[in-house]
Amino acid sequence: IEPGLYYSKSNPFISSIVSHWPESSRTYSVKNGATPYLVNWDYRTGLPFLVNKVSFQEHLRVWTQNRFDGEYLALDIAFPSNANGDFVHYLEQPVYLILHGLNGGSHEEYVKDLVKRRRAENSTLVVLIARGMMDTKMVGWNAFHGARTGDIDIAARVLKRGLVSPADVNQRSPRQILAGVGYSMGELSDFMQGTMDM
C-alpha cells in the first residue's frame, strides 16, 4: 500500500473535509516538514508532551456498564464553562470522544492539551478510560485490548442519550457531531467514521 490518505469519495462530508485539508498537512515527509530523526507520527505528536506540561483540566467522571460482560466503563467528561464559571454543554458544538493510548488517560499531557484547546471553543470532550487504566476497578478478567470496539460503541450510545435532556430535544441542533479522536492504541480502536447523529 502506498503512503497517502485513504477515504470514501462517496461520503460528501468526508470529501468536503479532505478538500479543505492541504496535502502538505497530511503527508509525513521531510519535504513537508517532518524531522528525519522522528520516524513516525507517534513520536512527532508525543515527544512535545514529554517536555511540555499542560495545566490541569477538570473532568466529571461518570460510569456506565458494558452489559455484555458486566465491566464498568469510566468516562471523564470535560464541559466548557460559561461566563459565570458554570459547566455547560453547547448543543451547536462538536462533542469529542477521546481514546487515549496504551498507558494513558485523561491525565496525559496530549489529552489535556486537546481538552484545553477544544473547551476554549465551547466543545464538550469525553475521555473513555480503557479498562483498568487510571486505577479503574475491574470486576472480571476482560482487561483492555485494542481490538475491543464494543466499549467505544457503548460510550458513544451513552453520550447520545445522556448529553441532551428531554427538555432540550426540541432546541437541539438537528445534527450534533460526535468526533472520535484516538492516539496510538486509541487510534487503532477508533472505529467511528465521520459523524454520528446525536
Cell of 76: 471523564
How many residues make up the chain in this entry?
198
Q: How far apart are CA 145 and CA 166, in angstroms?
A: 35
pLDDT reported for residue 144: 77
Tens digits of per-residue pLDDT, 97-123? 998 877 778 998 889 999 999 999 999
Give the residue carrying C-alpha cell 473547551.
119
Beta bridge partners of 60: 77
Q: In the structure, what pLDDT confidence band is assigned to residue 138 with cuts at 50, 70 and 90?
A: confident
How many whole angstroms separate alpha carbon 59 and alpha carbon 125? 9
pLDDT-derived band at 75 (thresholds 50, 70, 90) equals very high
Gap between the Cα atoms of 123 and 81, Å rounded? 10
- What is the distance between the alpha carbons of residues 176 and 108, in angstroms, rounded to a whole number? 27
Task: Say what the pLDDT of residue 185 is.
Answer: 59
Distance (Å, whole) CA 178 – CA 151: 16
Question: What pLDDT shows up at residue 192?
Answer: 46
pLDDT tens across 183-192, in order?
Answer: 765 555 544 4
pTM (whole model) above 0.75: no
